[in-house]
Amino acid sequence: AQSVTQLDSHVSVSEGTPVLLRCNYSSSYSPSLFWYVQHPNKGLQLLLKYTSAATLVKGINGFEAEFKKSETSFHLTKPSAHMSDAAEYFCVVSGMEYGNKLVFGAGTILRVKS
Amino acid sequence: SQTIHQWPATLVQPVGSPLSLECTVEGTSNPNLYWYRQAAGRGLQLLFYSVGIGQISSEVPQNLSASRPQDRQFILSSKKLLLSDSGFYLCAWSVGPGATEAFFGQGTRLTVV
């Protein structure tokens, strides 16, 4: 079974409009969840993380994500897209059942139109 | 503060040649270290991880090997490269144990020709 599923391989939004990148995970226990961003030919930068504290997590660059256990989701949102947000985004799950290693989704490429 | 260095940034190697990619971490002790490979549209695949000097775990069978000769040094190697080894390789570290975030190097774009 897929450990983490990013529901959209590509998302396109206009500058100034909201961003929604969807992620569902599978975990029998309380997982740790992360969102990373990657600009072309660069390493990955941590946007935010959930580790069983507040379910609404605020990250850098105006991004936030909400942990919904009942829906097994951890969607990433931003109220207003900026051109510099264009990148690839990865949802990541970790926890005891994964040997505490990071398991990556396939990624979502975000395009921002002017 | 902690930093991670990975080099080279790009590399073009002929089929059958050896490979050595190096990664070093500064500002922390006894980190967990990782090598990932990234293929387009397929996310990141964990190749190797290490929880200490000389302790290497391989996640997938392949043409590559890893070594950790010092606490903060992690090396990815191959004796003979294959075309299928082409890709973007990322080194990362984390504070262990536990399900914590990892911090990534800038990556190496390897093209085997």
CATH of the domain at B9: 2.60.40.10
Element (H, E) at B88: strand B87-94
Distance from CA of A104 to the nearest CA of B (A): 6
Count of alpha carbons within 13 Å of A14, Cβ hemisphere only? 2
Q: Is the pLDDT of residue A28 over 80?
A: no
Domain housing B26: 3-112
- Residues from A contacting B (CB-CB < 8 Å) are 9, 31-32, 34, 36, 41-46, 49, 51, 90, 94-96, 98, 100-102, 104-107
- Mean pLDDT across chain A: 92
CATH code of the region A4-51+67-113: 2.60.40.10
- In degrees and rounded to multiples of 5, residue B81 shows phi and psi of -75, 145
Chain B residues with beta carbon closer than 8 angstroms to that of A27: none
Q: Which two tokens stand for residue A27?
A: 């975990």
Query: Token pair for residue A109?
Result: 């490429």
Number of domains in chain B: 1
Under 8 Å between Cβ of B41 and A106: yes
B84-111 residue pLDDT tens: 999 999 999 998 766 688 999 999 999 9
| B35 strand-pairing partners | B48, B91
Q: Is A30 helix (H, G, I), strand (E, B) or coil?
A: coil
pLDDT digits (tens, 9 = 90+) for A91-103: 999 888 887 788 8
